[in-house]
Structure 1
Amino acid sequence: MNKPLVVAIVGFGKSATRYHLPYLIYRGNVQVKYVVNIQPEPQREAPYKELGIQFVDSLDPILADDEVQLLTLCTPPATHFPLAKQVLNAGKNVMVEKPFSETAAQTEELLQLAKEKQLVAMPFQNRRFDSDYLTLKKVLERGYVGEPLELESHFDKYRPDNAVHQGKPRDGSFYGLGIHMLDQVIAVFGRPQSVGYDIRAIQNPESTVDDYYEASLYYDRFKAIVKTSPLVAAPYPRFILHGTRGSYIKYDIDQQENDLKLGMSPITTGFGQDSPDQFGVVKYHNPSGDWITKQIPSEQGDYGRVYDSLFNTILKGAPKLVSDEETLLDIEILEKGVSQPSPSVVRFG
């Protein structure tokens, strides 16, 4: 029987308790040995302690523990680069919540350091395992729409807030949500030739933190648009895909987060699953010249599969789920977008 991957979670906020620990406490191939929580919270910690997880208030005991193979950083974005560097220098593998770092230079430094020490450094791109995204990939792989020509991807909401928000680009929506949407496109379509940007604060122009973005990734014949707005009362589809033979439309985001908010466990029957009225619909022209319209049942999402991939990478030498080239490109596109006034266009070919 294979030994599990021994993990420490650094941070005990929403990221750790919603996107990581619920999936790990039931996974036989991963053992969470530690959680770092700077300010002890006995009541919140108690259920995890009952599972044998140790709570500590610093990295020191973890970095000194030879059993620990991977540290996951669920800490504020400003800490990602220095903490990841500290972990790698201590001889441990590291996974970093989004964004992996603030700049391409920091990203290159971390990836190079990991190579030199024969370790793994990777971002937590859990949305590669969203059900809606996995279903989109299935539609593309089966060729329903023919050659893809345009993809529109939305993470919209309606949350009015006209307060002034001050911060750095890492604190805005583009770094916070755009990183996932860009990564989904890049994982399927690769490096774009150019990217057009519209990044701004639409609710209060005095804010220095963006709450709206639209990025258009241009390829040869194909174009992908990723967009988030905080003032969308009537939602767009999650995905709109057009191709030479047809179109695919999918409303509603992946249900995992909604179910986790309700207190459901990932091992509960029906967890994270769409109901049939939430399935996407494809309309395409078949080889006989007939128009076919049908629902595409949603694939099962599972954010824990990121850890399955790391188990295979760290313990079995498999390629990383998110390659170094993809990690660097994701951050390059973010950084280029916020480093100049919008609207703008940057070549990446």
Structure 2
Amino acid sequence: MVAKTWNVGVVGYGLSAKIFHIPFITAVPDFKLYAIVQRTPKPDDDAEKDFPGVKGYRSADDLVKDAEVDVVVITTAPDSHYALTKLALDAGKHVVVEKPFVPTYKEAEELVALAEKQNKLLAVYQNRRFDADYLTLSKLIKNGSLGRVVEYETHFDRHRPEAPVNSTSWKTKVIPASGAIYDLGTHLLDQAVHLFGLPQRVTAFIGSQREINPTGLEDSFTALLHYDNGLMVTAKAAVVSPEENQLRFWVRGDKGSFKKYHLDIQENQLRAGVRPGDSGYGLEPSDRYGVLTTIKDGKPSSETVPTVEGPTYVEYYRKLARALGGENVIPASGAEASQVIRLIELAKESSKLRKTLDLQKNEEKLGLKPTRIDSIEIPEALTPKRPSPDFPGFRASQSRAT
């Protein structure tokens, strides 16, 4: 039996489509880049010229009417994700949505239910599950090198104390699902939940570190995920961090710790024009490797740990192809992404109220029945619960939680 080739229609032709989706769609033989929606082509920015033979549409409404389209990939700003995802699902298409999934947990659950009703695959583009540093850390946790993990710090810090000027990106505008916790936090929280499952409580502080912030954009956050087994996850993104090497991971267990600087190399390579299959793509240089410290003969002993040669972001679309073919291997399901949005909303509420919030009590209060997800959980630990700390260095946002 001949394997099916899935026709893909991409909605949007900005950075996300050009850098994070089309190179990987075209790298997987199971997919054909069939159509692109670009509302206003320009002489120097025209999808039909860049990809001769690919159909061009001016609206998503026209795209989803095309019976030849199997999969719709939505790469537009997050405030449009709910409407466009619903449009595609109603039209009987499989859907991949850029992160952040949608602004609210209510919208996320509605789309998950609609996809199930339509018997269509709904995935969210959590490509950083395939960061090589994250895969290296995951390997160390799963093979027991760190022992019982009690603290997991995950950072996306940068030194950008001045607000962007004349930026047209949604990431710099105050719209639904904007701000650091939706933009960067989506990745950090997804990775943590993917490793450890959902926490029992959340404490967060969301606001601005910039001295001058005319738009009020929430440019920074710290979120603590409390687990009943004693694990504490700290997810953090900062814009005031004058470091030569930015911390990425610091994870501590009773047998060892792992510390890693620098972000995964793939994004910078993609922006520089390197593509999947090019020499060196996704391979981290040795001067960026992390350090594993373990106790030997009663003393700390450190060694450099080579970053794994991961499957790269191509693996997202490979897994997607297998899922479309009937395997239960969705690379990041809508149901999983819904839980990340649930955590973000709880974090925003925690920041507004300045208190730790309990997931179960919160969902009971709101009458929610969250979608169950599969995740990898660490063994039960006996570490005592920690008090919730204060968070100096931020100016709190006064905006209401979503």
Q: Is TM more than 0.5 here?
A: yes
Alignment of 1:179-198 (within 5 A): 179-198=186-205
Q: Does the CA-based 8 Å contact 1:150-1:243 persist in structure 2? A: yes
In structure 1, the residue matched to 2:256 is 246
Residues 216-270 of structure 1, C-alpha deviations (whole Å, 9 max, x = no match): 1111211111101111111442100100011111111000111112111221111
In structure 2, the residue matched to 1:266 is 276
**181, 184, 195: which one pairs with 1:177?**
184
The CA deviation string for residues 62-117 of structure 1, in whole angstroms up to 9 with x for no partner, is: 32333321101001111100110011000001111111111111011100000011
Judge conservation of contact 2:124–2:333 (CA < 8 Å) in 1: no
- For residues 255 and 28 of structure 1, do their structure 2 counterparts lie closer, same or farther at Cα, with a shift above 3 Å needed? same
Decide whether aligned partners of structure 1 residues 317 and 66 sit closer, same or farther in structure 2, where only a CA change above 3 A counts.
Answer: farther
**3-state DSSP class of the match of 2:218?**
coil
Contact map agreement 1:241 1:249 (CA 8 A) in 2: yes
Q: Tell me if the contact between 2:154 and 2:235 (Cα under 8 Å) persists in the aligned partners.
A: yes
Counterpart in 1 of 2:14? 13
Partner in structure 2 of residue 211 of structure 1: 219
Question: Size of the alignment, in residue pairs?
Answer: 347
Q: Which stretch has the larger CA shift, 58-67 or 225-234?
A: 58-67
Which residue of structure 2 lines up, in the alignment, with residue 130 of structure 1? 131
Residues of 1 paired with 2:215 and 2:208: CA distance? 6
Counterparts of 1:46 and 1:69, CA distance in 2: 20
Aligned residue number for residue 151 of structure 1: 152
User: Does residue 84 of structure 2 align to residue 89 of structure 1?
Assistant: no
Of residues 336, 343, 352, the one that matches 1:333 is 343
SS of 2:186's partner is helix
Partners of 2:83 and 2:190 lie apart in 1 by: 23
**What does residue 121 of structure 1 align with?**
122
Counterpart secondary structure, 1:171: coil
Unaligned runs of 5+ in 2: 166-171, 361-402
**Relative to 1, partners in 2 of residues 1:246 and 1:332: Cα closer, same or farther, differing over 3 Å?**
same
1:318 aligned residue: 328
Kindly indicate whether the alpha-carbon contact (under 8 Å) linking 1:93 and 1:119 is maintained by their aligned counterparts in 2. Answer: yes
Give the distance between the partners of 1:46 and 1:327, measured in 2 at CA: 32
The CA distance in 2 between the partners of 1:323 and 1:163, in whole Å, is 33
Which residue identity does 1:160 align to in structure 2?
A: P
Alignment root-mean-square deviation, CA? 2.1
Distance change >3 Å, CA 207–CA 42, structure 1 → 2: closer
Q: Using the alignment, how far apart are the partners of 2:49 and 2:305 within structure 1?
A: 39
The counterpart of 2:231, out of the listed 222, 230, 234, is 222
Provide the secondary structure at the position in 2 that maps to 1:170. coil
Contact 1:198 / 1:214 at 8 angstroms: preserved in 2?
A: yes
Say which SS state the counterpart of residue 161 (structure 1) adopts. Answer: coil
Of the structure 1 ranges 272-281 and 185-194, higher mean CA displacement relative to structure 2 is found in 272-281
In structure 1, distance between residues paired with 2:141 and 2:163: 40
Secondary structure at 2:325 match in 1 = helix
Instruction: Select 1:48's aligned residue among 47, 50, 56.
Output: 50
Q: Which runs of 5+ in 1 are unaligned?
A: none
Distance 2:33 2:322 in 1: 17
The more displaced of 317-326 and 296-305 is 317-326
The structural deviation recorded for 1:289 is: 5.8
Is residue 101–residue 338 contact of structure 2 (8 Å, CA) maintained in 1? no
